Structures are given as C-alpha cells and as structure tokens.
C-alpha cells in the first residue's frame, strides 16, 4: 500500500539556533544534502530569515 507523503523530502532536519554560526552552517549544508529543513529561533529573526533565503 502506498501512502502519499505531505513532503517531497523524505529526510527532515529540525535546527535550533539557525541565525548564525554553526546552526546556520548546518542548516545550509543539510538543505544542500537534500533535507527539508525546519528552523526554530527565539531571537535574531532577521538573521534567521537571511539563512532561510540562502537555502
């Protein structure tokens, strides 16, 4: 039986602290490697949006 997926990606990564540094680098790399990336941040919203646009 085939179950349709809500996402086209089969690999999903949840990144906390993605605004800069290691979190941003990991998010970008995982996106490049084919992951759907979910980013959670508490501050630095504009920095996080910059990373999202880069992905």
CA–CA separation, 13 and 43 (whole Å) = 20
Question: Mean pLDDT for the chain?
Answer: 83
Q: Is 6 domain-assigned? A: no
User: What's the mean pLDDT in 14-30?
Assistant: 88
Q: Is 3 domain-assigned? A: no
What's the pLDDT band for 29 if we cut at 50, 70, 90? very high
For residue 47, what are the domain limits?
Answer: 12-54
**Number of structural domains found in the chain:** 1
Query: 7 pLDDT exceeds 70?
Result: no
Q: Is 19 domain-assigned? A: yes
Q: Is 23 domain-assigned? A: yes
């Amino acid at each position: 039986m085939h179950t349709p997926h809500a996402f086209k990606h089969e690999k999903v990564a949840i990144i906390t602290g993605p605004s800069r540094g290691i979190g941003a680098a990991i998010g970008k790399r995982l996106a490049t490697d084919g992951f759907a990336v979910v980013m959670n941040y508490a501050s630095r919203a504009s920095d996080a949006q910059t990373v999202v646009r880069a992905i």
